[in-house]
Structure 1
Amino acid sequence: MNDSVRRWPGYNAVWRWHFYAGLFCIPFVLWLAVTGSIYLFRPQIEALLDRPYARLTVDGPPATAAAQVAAAVRAVPGSVLHRYQLPETPTQAVQVIVGAGKEETRVYVHPRTLAVLAKVDEDQRPMRIVFRLHGELLAGTPGSYLVELAASWTIVMILSGLFLWWPRGGGLGGVVYPRLRSGGRRFWRDLHGVTGFWVSAFALFMLLSGLPWAKSWGGYLRTIRTVAEGQAVRQDWTTGRSEELKARAAADAGTRAMMGEHAEHGGMAMAHPAGSYAPLDRLVATVAPLGLAAPVLIAPPTGMGAPWTAKSDAANRPLRTDLTLDGASGRILSRRDFAERRLVDRVVGYGVAVHEGQLFGWLNQLMNLATALGLILLSVSSVVLWWRRRPGDVLGAPPALTRRPAAIGFFALLIALGLFLPLLGATLVAVLLTEWLVLRRLPRARLWLGLPVRPA
Structure 2
Amino acid sequence: MKNRKFNQWLWKWHFIAGMVSLPFILVLAVTGAIYLFKPQVEKVAIEKIQQITPVAGTKKLNYQQQWEVAQQHSLKKLNAMVLSDNDVSTEFISGRFGGKKSTYVNPYSGKISGTFQGRDTWMFSIRKLHGELLGGKIGTKIVELIASWMVVLIITGLYIWFPFTRGIKGVFTIRYKEGKRTFFRDVHAVTGFWISILLLIVLAGGFPWTDVFGGNFKWVQKVTNTGYPKTWQGRGLTSEKGVKKLTLDEMVVIAKKQELAGVITIGLPKSPKSTFSVSNKTFPLSEQKMIHFDQYSGKVMKYHNWEDVGVLMRARMWLMAFHQGQFGGWNWYLLFFTAVLLTIMSISAIFSYLFRKEKRKLGVPKVPKSFKISYGIIITIIVLGITFPLFGISVILILLTKRIKSFKKRSISL
CA distance in 1, matches of 2:122, 2:64: 29
Match of 2:220 in 1: 224
Q: Which amino acid aligns with 2:81?
A: Y
Deviation at residue 100 of structure 1 after TM alignment: 11
Question: Mean Cα displacement is larger for which, 33-42 or 189-198?
Answer: 33-42
Q: Which amino acid aligns with 2:68?
A: A
Deviation at residue 13 of structure 1 after TM alignment: 0.5
Match of 1:356 in 2: 324
Q: Is 1:323 aligned to residue 291 of structure 2?
A: yes
Q: Is 1:300 aligned to residue 268 of structure 2?
A: yes
Match of 2:346 in 1: 379
Q: Is the 8 A contact 1:178 1:194 kept in 2?
A: yes
Question: Mean Cα displacement is larger for which, 59-68 or 226-235?
Answer: 226-235
Deviation at residue 214 of structure 1 after TM alignment: 1.3
CA distance in 1, matches of 2:253, 2:162: 60
Match of 1:82 in 2: 79
1:169–1:230 distance in 2 versus 1, CA, 3 Å: closer
Q: Is the 8 A contact 2:205 2:321 kept in 1?
A: no
Equivalent of 1:417, from 384, 388, 392? 384
CA distance in 2, matches of 1:414, 1:210: 21
Q: Is 1:334 aligned to residue 310 of structure 2?
A: no
How is 1:424-439 mapped onto 2 (pairs within 5 angstroms)?
424-437=391-404, 439=405
Equivalent of 1:281, from 249, 258, 270? 249
1:101–1:417 distance in 2 versus 1, CA, 3 Å: closer
Deviation at residue 177 of structure 1 after TM alignment: 2.1
Deviation at residue 364 of structure 1 after TM alignment: 0.9
Q: Which runs of 5+ in 1 are unaligned?
A: 237-246, 252-261, 263-274, 444-453
Q: Is 1:396 aligned to residue 363 of structure 2?
A: yes
CA distance in 1, matches of 2:16, 2:408: 19
Q: Is the 8 A contact 1:286 1:331 kept in 2?
A: no
Equivalenced residues, count? 405
Q: Is 1:71 aligned to residue 37 of structure 2?
A: no
Match of 1:136 in 2: 132
SS in 2 for 1:209: helix
CA distance in 2, matches of 1:231, 1:170: 47
Aligned residues: CA RMSD: 3.4
Q: Is the 8 A contact 2:227 2:313 kept in 1?
A: no
Q: Is the 8 A contact 2:227 2:312 kept in 1?
A: no
Deviation at residue 135 of structure 1 after TM alignment: 2.3
Deviations along 1:386-421, one digit per CA (max 9) or x if unpaired, are 222233434321123233365655444322211222
Q: Is the 8 A contact 2:281 2:288 kept in 1?
A: yes
Match of 1:93 in 2: 89
CA distance in 2, matches of 1:346, 1:440: 48
Deviation at residue 352 of structure 1 after TM alignment: 1.8
Q: Which amino acid aligns with 1:207?
A: L
Q: Is the 8 A contact 1:179 1:187 kept in 2?
A: yes
CA distance in 2, matches of 1:321, 1:420: 32
SS in 2 for 1:431: helix
TM-score (norm 1): 0.78
Match of 2:238 in 1: none
Deviation at residue 19 of structure 1 after TM alignment: 0.9
**Identity, % of aligned positions:** 28
Q: Which amino acid aligns with 2:370?
A: R
Equivalent of 1:145, from 141, 145, 148? 141
CA distance in 2, matches of 1:373, 1:210: 17
Q: Is the 8 A contact 1:318 1:349 kept in 2?
A: no
SS in 2 for 1:377: helix
Q: Is the 8 A contact 1:73 1:98 kept in 2?
A: no
CA distance in 2, matches of 1:115, 1:417: 56
Match of 1:202 in 2: 198
SS in 1 for 2:92: strand
Q: Is the 8 A contact 2:81 2:93 kept in 1?
A: yes
Match of 1:266 in 2: none
Deviations along 1:351-381, one digit per CA (max 9) or x if unpaired, are 222221122x101111111111111111101
Q: Which runs of 5+ in 2 are unaligned?
A: 236-240
1:123–1:111 distance in 2 versus 1, CA, 3 Å: same
